[in-house]
Amino acid sequence: MAAIPDQQSSHESYHEKGQTTVTLDERRRAALEEIDNAPFSWFHVKVCMVAGVGFFTDSYDIFAINIAATMLGYVYGHTSNQLSTNQSLGVKVATPVGNLVGQLLFGWLADVVGRKRMYGVELMVMIIATFGQALAGQAPAVSVIGVIIVWRFIMGVGIGGDYPLSAIISSEFAATRSRGRLMTAVFAAQGWGQFSSAIIGIIVVQAYKNEILNAPFPCIVPVDYTWRLLIGLGCVPGVVALYFRLTIPETPRFTMDIERNVAQATADITNVLSSKNHTTDDNIQVQRVAAPKATRADFATYFGQWKNMKVLIGTAYSWFALDIAFYGLGLNSSVILTAINFGSPTGNKTSSLYVYQNLYNICVGNLILSVAGLIPGYWVSFLFIDSWGRKPIQLMGFTLLTILFIIMGFAYDVLNASTAGKNAFVFLYCLTNFFQNFGPNTTTFVIPGEAFPTRYRSTGFGISAATGKLGAIISQVGFAQLINIGGTNKFVKHIMEIFALFMLTGIFSTLLIPETRQRTLEDISNENQEGYIKEPPTANRS
C-alpha cells in the first residue's frame, strides 16, 4: 500500500514538468510573435545603422582598389607604369579570397559562440588590415605589392565575417512585415560605400593636382600619397561603428534556440522593445530547455531532406552566378571604361597632365556608374522587396541581366565603333548595375538570412556567401587571364557573353528557393514549432 502514494506523487511530478514544458514552449512562441509583430522603433533604426556602416566600410574597402590599382601602377609599375596582370589580379582577388574564409569562419562561429560575441571582432580585423595597407612599404626581401596583397586578404577575412553577422542580426531583430526592407537598407549601404570611394578618389586627386602636374612623370611621390589616403580613410567609418557593435544586445532567437534560455530571451525582448538599455539580469532563473541542438548528425538530418537541401543549393548557386558578373564588372570597371576609350585622356601618355587626367577620369567614371546604376537599384529593391517579394525580383533581375549581357557581348564591336555606340554601351553597363541591385545582388543577401533555422542560420548564410565569393574569385582570375586574348582588351565582348550564360543559369537556381515575404523565420525554416521544446527543463541559478 505504501507504494501507491509514491506512484501518485511521481505521476503528479511528471504532470507538473509536462505543464512547465508546455508553458515554456508557449512562452517561446509568444516571445517570437512579439518580435515578429513589433512596431518599427528606434532600436530597429539603430540596428540598421550599426550594421549598415559595416557594409559601407566593406564596399568602400573592396572597390577602392579599383581606383587604387591604377595609382599603384604609376608608383610601382616600373617601366610600364601599370601593374602586371598578376599583380593587378593579386590585389583585386586577395579580398574575395579573404571574404570566402571569413564568411565560412564567422558564419559558423556566430552560430556556436553567439552573434554578439563575434560582432565587432570582424570590424577590428578590417580596421587593422586597412590601416596596415596604407602603411605598406617596400623592402629588399619583400615586395610592397605582396605586402598589400597579404593585408587585403586579412581585410577580406574581416569583411567576410561582416556578411553573416550583420545579415543575421538585422534579420533576427526585424519584424516580419518590414524584415526585407530592413535587411535591404543594411545592404544598400554598399552602394554608398562604392560611391564614397569614387568621391574620396576625386578629392585626393584634386588635393594633389598641383603636386602631380609639377612632378616629373610618372609622378611617383604625389600619386603614392593619393592611393595611401584613398585606402587608409576606409578605416574611419569602421572606427566610428566599433563601439556600437560591441554594445549591441544578443538576439533573443540565439538566446532562446541555441543557448536554450527562454527566460533570459523573454527579458531581452522586453528590454529591446521598450527601448531600455540592454541588461542581463543575474537574478533571472536560467532554464536550459531541451530543444533541437546543432550537431553534425542534426545538420546531416536537417539538410539531408531535399526540401531543405534545395534551399541551400538555390541560395548558394544563385549567389555564385551573380558574383561571377558583379565582381567581374565591379572590380574591373576602370578596365572596361578604358577598353572602350570612354573618358580616356588624350595627348602625351608620358606627361604629368596625362597622369592627372587619367586618375581623375577613372574616379569620375566610377562615380557615374555608382550614381547611374548601383545606388538606384538598391533603393528600388527597398521599395518593392516586402510587397512584390524576393523571388520575383531575383527572377526578373537574372532574366534582364541575361538579355543585357547578350546585347553588350554580341553587339560589342558595333557599339565600340562610334561615340554614340560607346555612350550606349555605358548606358547598358549602368543598366546591368541597376538590375544587379534591383535583382539578385540584393535578394541573394536577404534570402539566406531568412531561410534557415536559428541554429544554422548564420552557417547557412556563410556557406551561401562563400560560394558567391568563389564565383568572384573565378571571375577575377578568368577576367585577368582572358581579357587580352587576341590583343589588349580584345576579349571583353566574349567575357560579356560568358556573364550572360551564368545569368541564365541563375534563373534556374532561383526556382529552388522559397518565397520568404511576410513569413516568420520559424515558418520558413520548415520545422514544426509546436512542441519545439520537447522535454522538461532543468532549472538552476546563474
Q: Burial level of 485, CB count in 10 A (0-12/13-18/19+)?
A: exposed
Return all residues near 228 (Cβ < 8 A) that are at least 6 apart. Answer: 134, 135
Omega cis (within 30) before 218: yes
Q: What is the DSSP letter of 374?
A: I
Ordered by start, the domain boundaries in the chain are: 41-276+295-518
CA distance 385 to 108: 27
Per-residue pLDDT tens over the stretch 169-210: 999 999 899 999 999 999 999 889 989 999 999 999 999 999
Asked whether the beta carbons of 194 and 373 are under 8 A apart, the reply is no
Query: For the packed helices 390-410 and 419-437, what is the interaxial angle rounded to 10 degrees?
Result: 160
Beta-sheet strands, E only, within 216-360: 286-290
CA distance 420 to 418: 5
Q: What is the DSSP letter of 485?
A: T
CA distance 140 to 337: 36
CA distance 80 to 78: 6
Give me the tens of pLDDT residue by residue for the chain, a chain 542 residues long: 444 444 444 444 434 444 455 577 777 788 888 888 888 888 888 889 989 988 898 889 888 888 888 888 888 887 777 888 888 888 888 998 999 999 999 999 999 998 989 998 999 999 999 999 999 888 888 899 999 999 999 999 999 999 999 999 999 999 899 999 999 999 999 889 989 999 999 999 999 999 988 888 888 899 999 999 999 998 888 888 888 888 888 888 888 888 877 777 777 777 776 655 555 554 555 556 566 787 889 899 999 999 999 999 999 999 999 999 887 776 566 666 666 565 667 667 778 888 888 888 888 888 887 787 778 888 999 999 999 999 999 999 999 999 999 998 899 888 888 888 888 888 888 888 899 999 999 999 999 999 999 999 999 999 999 999 999 899 888 877 887 787 777 788 888 899 999 999 999 999 999 999 999 988 888 877 676 666 554 544 44
Element containing residue 539 per DSSP (H, E): strand 535-540
H-assigned helices in 370-517: 375-384, 390-410, 412-415, 419-437, 440-446, 454-482, 492-510
Record the cell numbers describing residue 418, joined without a space: 562610334
Asked whether the beta carbons of 539 and 286 are under 8 A apart, the reply is yes
Residue 177: other Cβ atoms inside 10 A: 15
Residue 324: other Cβ atoms inside 10 A: 27
Scan for cell 555606340, then name that residue. 421
Record the cell numbers describing residue 388, joined without a space: 512584390
Chain centroid to CA 508: how far? 23
Instruction: Tell whether domain 41-276+295-518 is in CATH 3.40.710.10.
Output: no
Per-residue pLDDT tens over the stretch 21-39: 557 777 778 888 888 888 8
Query: For the packed helices 220-232 and 121-134, what is the interaxial angle rounded to 10 degrees?
Result: 170
CA distance 48 to 358: 37
Q: Quote the pTM value.
A: 0.86
